[in-house]
Chain A
Amino acid sequence: MDFDAILLARLQFAFTIAFHIIFPSFTIGLASFLAVLEGLWLTSRREVFRNLYLFWIKIFALSFGMGVVSGVVMSYELGTNWAEFSKMASPVIGPLLAFEVLTAFFLEASFLGVMLFGWKKVGPRLHFTATVLVAVGTLISAFWILSANSWMQHPVGYEVIADGTLRATDWLTVIFNPTFPARLAHMALAAFLTTSLVVGAASAWQLLKDRMQPESGMALRMAIGMFAIVAPLQLFAGHVSGENVRAYQPLKLAAIEAYWTTRADQPQSVLGLPDRDARKTHYEVEIPGVGNLIQGAPKDEVLKGLDSWPREDWPVVGLVYWAFRIMVGLGFAMIGLGAWGVILLLRKRVEASPWFLRACVAMGPMGFVAVVAGWIVAEVGRQPYTIYGVLRTADSVSPVGPGQVSASLLAFMVIYAIVFSAGAIYILRLIAKGPAPELEQPPEADGRAPGSPLAAAPAEPEVAP
């Protein structure tokens, strides 16, 4: 297969999966947030929770729809563009992806209908159950896809048989790969962080306009509680993932930290411009003597540099290096925002601090940026392999010419640009309007379209105490 077709196929996959990952990383957290809100509403019967639920479910419906349709693409793109990978990997990860469809996708899709449209059709407890099942479905989905991904990063529990194909030898080892628990925790926490930052930003935006909004005040407090706890946990989960990289993918670690030479007592590169051809980092800011320490390795331990591997096995060093720094930098910003928020919470001054509210707004989209950056670290860092050390990307690609791949890439870009801009506009409009219930609601003229998820929502919770 020629170089152009491989590059185009990679660009197409990177583009479609980066687009897709935005939505699950938001809806995984949002589904759980909605389940919590509905649970609180049913137990406390406080209106603020109902109003928040009815507000965020609209945004959930918009984002979930985009996640579903961009996800259907992935289930066919593996075949259209990565046929050789599919044939090679299926004996091992085929069941994992099949289980994702069977345990998660049907559950989410079926109960989503009840969650969005079933208000008057089922009782409040059954409706709450539907919300919880959708939330559980999103997490089960993350479980399987990260299990498959972990195996591609660190293939174990398989053998190569005589005809060159793979066979699983131990399913539990395949599914519960040593790199899997930390990766799943890292992704799930990232999803909760992303959601809490968006909820925080939307609420802060409302409070900047008008401090006296109980819904936005409550949502902001819940969001602060979430990211203040999760951001430090994420630092820990990320560190464990990093230790896995050092243990199982030392080449990726060398790219992340731009270790050009193999040595003990590695310096820590802070910032710079890695140059693969010159084998050095230009304009580098480095701290000598702390690299090993940051990796949790003794100072005299030899950490492999890129020179330990042939040049054709290196990933794109600059991309991995910078994506990692963006992710970690944002992670620390999130920890800072959480600490600031907790201090204000304790002083009961959250609404009264416009600079904190502005910071929340600015950090709103940063969860998405960090998630995409993290995926670049993980997936570009795995290159030039699709199955690490087993199958090279160049040998994974379908026998499809560059003409078809470039035409379809262009079509994806156009359609995704339309869908993404429209979706973003609709979500931002909702956020601008806010969760506070409108005071006057003439039954027909409130702009609420018939058939919208909320048209059938009861005005009062119908739960028996």
Chain B
Amino acid sequence: MTLDLPLIWAGLIALAVLMYVLLDGFDLGVGILFPFARTPGERDVMMDSIAPVWDGNETWLVLGGGGLFAAFPLAYGVLAPALYLPLILMLLALILRGVAFEFRLHGRKRGKAFWTFAFAFGSLMATIAQGFVLGGFIQGITVSDGRFAGQPFDWLTPYTLLVSAGLVAGYALLGGCWLMWKTQDQLHGDARRWASIAGGATALLLGAVSLATLFVHPRIAHRWGFDQGAFDLAAFLPHLPIPLLGAVGLAIVFIGLAKRSHGWPFLGAALVFLSGYVGLAASFFPSIVPYDIDFRTAANADNALGLMLVGIVILLPAILGYTVWVYWVFRGKVSADAGYH
């Protein structure tokens, strides 16, 4: 039996990006919600809820980028120049909000105010930039001779702005649900309100992005059964579970909110993201640089993929294991922990 190494690695990179979106998604979302907190004390609690885990969360982004470099160098070498400006914007924003975790504790009056702003602004800009990257990716990349051959601002269209708005709403939903889960009292009540507003916005924008994708990108519409006004039920049906999963996720969010559940809405929000993510994957597969390069063409040499597979088979379970352990160590409500106050 021979292993289909490119396929396995496409799955692993997709898993890394999904882990990133879910995990850093909620801590970026907490940053997006930062300006809405009532008091500096509430902001401290918000930050405390993510401070022990944000670094691990962001490492999935490094695995996404480094993994793409290592497993699909052609895709890495085409996508990164094509999305140059949004990627640099994302990196700069992540720097500002990343150092803010520690700097905010050391700043005095003006310094603290600045790093509070930097954390919120950096989280928002990083999310917007990731929306540009995602939107630019869905729109397709101009490639010639294995190189990016488009213009610097190809990614900037009304469609990418819509995707960005959707991602901001989605991360805010994840962040709000996380805070409901991890906090109590007034902040918990505020988080519930933020989550319901962000949940509504996410539902609307997810619908709008889905429709816009069908209108703007006939190839994707075709795959989902919408072909120049005609509707092909046989093509659509296999994809039906994907939007259904999203609907179930939203239902869990809203029923959870209505029933004053603390933990369920976070699970629901994660399912909404999973549905959007699988929907994208189903729309593109097997493209890795839409729409010219498929994952097999972009894959690294088999001996490199094989060596890395040996490594990841051993290491990924260990990483997932200690990641779960760290979350377990920091389980429970933040403000209930006497050590913090």
Contacts and interface: CB of A to CB of B under 8 A. Distances in A.
Contacts of B103: 62, 65, 422-423, 426
B200 interface: no
Nearest to A161: B301
Contacts of A450: 41, 44-45, 48, 340-341
B288 interface: no
A103 interface: yes
Contacts of B330: 113, 117-118, 121
B306 to A, nearest CB: 9
Given A62-B106, A86-B77, A76 B87 contact: yes
A77 B66 CA distance: 11
Contacts of A404: 84-85, 152
Interface string B141-155: 000001111001000
A66 B96 CA distance: 10
Interface stretch (A93-101, A273-281, A344-352, A363-371): A93-101
A128 to B, nearest CB: 15
Contact of B307 (A76, A107, A171, A401): A171
Interface stretch (B165-173, B223-231, B310-318): B310-318
A356 B100 CA distance: 37
Interface in B66-80: 66-71, 73-74, 76-80
B56 A106 contact: yes
Contacts of B149: 399
Nearest to A412: B92
A411 B53 CA distance: 28
Contacts of A68: 55, 58, 98
A168 interface: yes
Nearest to B306: A95
Contacts of B247: none
Contacts of B329: 114, 118, 121-122
Contact of A65 (B59, B69, B77, B98): B98
Given A87-B77, A122-B329, A429-B106, A94 B69 contact: yes
A78 interface: yes
A430 B105 CA distance: 12
Contacts of B95: 69-70, 72-73, 415-416, 419
Contacts of A75: 62, 65-66, 69
By CB atoms of chain A within 10 A, which of B45, B53, B304 has the most?
B304
Nearest to A93: B70
A329 interface: no
B282 interface: no
B69 A411 contact: no
Interface stretch (A208-216, A250-258, A376-384, A451-459): A451-459
Contacts, number: 250
Contact of B304 (A80, A94, A105, A403): A94
A285 B81 CA distance: 47
Interface string B274-290: 00000000000000000
A79 B76 contact: yes
Interface stretch (B177-185, B212-220, B256-264, B319-327): B319-327
Interface residues of A, number: 76
A398 interface: yes
A70 B202 CA distance: 32
B21 to A, nearest CB: 16
Nearest to A408: B88
Contacts of B74: 87
Nearest to A113: B52
A36 interface: no
B105 A117 contact: no
A47 interface: no
B339 interface: yes
A80 B80 contact: yes
Interface string A434-456: 00000000000000011110011
Nearest to B60: A106
Given A90-B73, A94-B69, A168-B303, A110 B98 contact: no
A71 B98 CA distance: 12
A400 interface: yes
Contacts of A282: none
Nearest to B335: A450
Contacts of A168: 301, 303-304
B78 to A, nearest CB: 7
B304 A90 contact: yes
Given A65-B101, A98-B66, A450-B48, A72 B79 contact: no
Contact of B340 (A61, A78, A451): A451
Contact of B52 (A73, A103, A114, A411): A114
A455 B66 contact: no
B203 interface: no
B267 interface: no
A455 B53 CA distance: 17
A17 interface: no
Contact of A451 (B51, B87, B152): B51
B231 to A, nearest CB: 40
A105 B315 CA distance: 12
Interface string A77-92: 1111001101100111
Given A91-B73, A110-B323, A65 B311 contact: no
Nearest to A94: B70
Interface string B125-140: 0000000000000000
B288 to A, nearest CB: 13
A220 interface: no
B111 interface: yes
Contact of A401 (B69, B106, B152, B301): B152
Nearest to B65: A75
Most buried by B among A79, A97, A100, A403: A79
Q: Which 6 residue pairs spanning A and B have beta carbons closest together? A: A79-B80, A456-B339, A94-B70, A90-B73, A113-B52, A83-B77
Given A408-B84, A415-B92, 19 more contacts: A65-B99, A68-B58, A69-B95, A72-B94, A79-B81, A84-B77, A90-B73, A98-B71, A98-B312, A102-B311, A102-B319, A103-B311, A106-B63, A109-B58, A109-B59, A400-B148, A408-B85, A451-B51, A452-B105
17 contacts: A79-B81, A83-B78, A94-B304, A97-B69, A98-B69, A99-B311, A103-B315, A106-B59, A109-B55, A113-B55, A118-B329, A119-B339, A168-B301, A399-B149, A426-B103, A430-B106, A451-B47
